[in-house]
Structure 1
Amino acid sequence: MKKSREGFTLAELLIVVAIIAVLVAVAIPVFGSQLEKSREAADLANVRAAYAKVLTEANMGIYDKEVTVDLKQKQDDWQSADVITIGGISHSVKEGDTDNWIGKPGAGGTCKVSFDQKTGTKFVWSGDGTSASNSYDMSENFFKTLESSGCLNLDLIKNNTNFEIDSKASSSTFVPEIEKVLGEQSLLKNGTWAFLGNGKSNKASERYLFWTSFDTNEVGAGKKIPILIQTGDGKYYVSESQTAKRQKGNVTYVTISDHIKDQTEYKKVINAGGGQVYKSLSEAYAAYEKVLEKYKDLL
């Protein structure tokens, strides 16, 4: 008797390989999604622990406690439920930001938990899918950068009651010195910035950093733009200013703000945005991103 030793045909093997490939293609995204949800759950657990710590301090009368949680998730935005609740504070993914909940989580981002006596516990998340905040150093103090550059000790600044260092002034002797000390993730490596104020005064609050994500030379003069402000005493604001054309020698450029004559006018710029004080750069940056919607025509 003859024994049949026929195996699978090439067509049958290809069909089996194709089926396995389809199953793998379906399984990997599902596994990845579940893994990301587990990272998100771990982040929420850590944020809840930070909330408990901040609330404990607040109950003891200590209101300036801020806890930063480094997020483990590797994707922007929420992957789980539409409504997230921490400590009785609920956030709807569809409704967006509130006074207590600002921004969305991002890959490698952070959540800063603090307590405000007026609004209660505040959660500020870095990154929202369209944000570049995860690429920036949110612990940066712009005035330490200015001090490190040595510019504040130069006579032209320290003897000037109203100095201005604008990043678009390519002929400036100060801008290159500041750029030398900027970190790789410095916000000042993007957009347009200017250090302004009273170099002669001992009051740090009379010196300012204006920053915008827009290239003012591209925007042009006479346009309203959003700005993020840090004062020398460590306070942050979000407001707007009007660009202006300047000329230094043969160089023409557009500044982040028209010429400001005195401290009263600086206060007017701050108050134009409501005068709200933000405790950290990440909180101010999140608020800045929120107002960008009003300036879509400049994008």
Structure 2
Amino acid sequence: MLKQLKERRENEDGFTLIELMVVVLIIAILIAIAVPTFLGARERAQDRATQSNLRNSLTAGKVIYSDDGNYASVDAALLGNVEPAMTFQAVASAGQGEISFDLASNTEMVYAALSDSGECWYLRDRVGNTAATSGTQFSVRAQGVAGACQGSNTNGLAWAGAW
């Protein structure tokens, strides 16, 4: 009888439970590595899209500045005419997909945008007579929310020369 069982077992093809569990374990490890990497890449892409929108807003503002010689005439409608692909809000809270801007002075504009990742990105353009009083600066506030991401809400920001 043992001989018959042994012969039957030799003819059977398939995987043992241990082999199947090893495969499941390998797949689980790969998923544990891939999912956080994918989520991080997604958030970085969302932030880069927001930064790109801010740079396009800066270009629209500079077009107006070069026409008028100052930022005094900048408003949401004028920015929208120069860059119709974006929605501009004067000082008001920037929801996702909107650019908030604040005319800090005739020579300074601040733009803010809420990324889909939840961070509020800022871009400040200052036009002055010296390197110390002019240039473009960038900042970010972690965990921004609609209602708090405004071009006029720059208190406590650390400005830098690059993202």
- TM-score norm. by structure 2 comes to 0.53
Alpha-carbon separation, structure 2, partners of 1:67 and 1:117: 15
Q: Which runs of 5+ in 2 are unaligned?
A: 1-6, 73-102, 104-108, 159-163
Is it true that 1:52 corresponds to 2:56 in the alignment? no
SS of match in other structure, 1:68: strand
Alpha-carbon separation, structure 1, partners of 2:15 and 2:114: 51
Amino acid paired to 1:137: A
Alignment match, 2:157: 286
Is it true that 1:17 corresponds to 2:24 in the alignment? yes
Q: Which has the larger radius of gyration?
A: 2
Q: 1:33 to 1:126 in 2, by over 3 A?
A: closer
Deviations 1:30-55 (A, max 9, x none): 22222222222212211210111222
Q: 1:114 to 1:70 in 2, by over 3 A?
A: same
- Which of 117, 122, 128 is matched with 1:117 structurally? 128
The CA deviation at 1:112 is: 4.2
- Which of 86, 89, 114 is matched with 1:71 structurally? 114
Q: 1:138 to 1:4 in 2, by over 3 A?
A: closer
Q: Which runs of 5+ in 1 are unaligned?
A: 75-106, 140-279, 288-299
Alignment match, 2:148: 137
Structure number having the greater helix percentage: 2
Work out which structure has the larger RCO, using CA pairs closer than 8 Å and 6 or more positions apart in sequence: 2
Q: 1:285 to 1:138 in 2, by over 3 A?
A: farther
Q: 1:138 to 1:12 in 2, by over 3 A?
A: closer
Deviations 1:263-294 (A, max 9, x none): xxxxxxxxxxxxxxxxx75223326xxxxxxx
The CA deviation at 1:17 is: 0.5
Q: Size of the alignment, in residue pairs? A: 112
Alpha-carbon separation, structure 2, partners of 1:138 and 1:111: 9
1:250-265 pair list within 5 angstroms: none
The CA deviation at 1:116 is: 3.6
Instruction: Calculate percent identity across the aligned residue pairs.
Output: 23
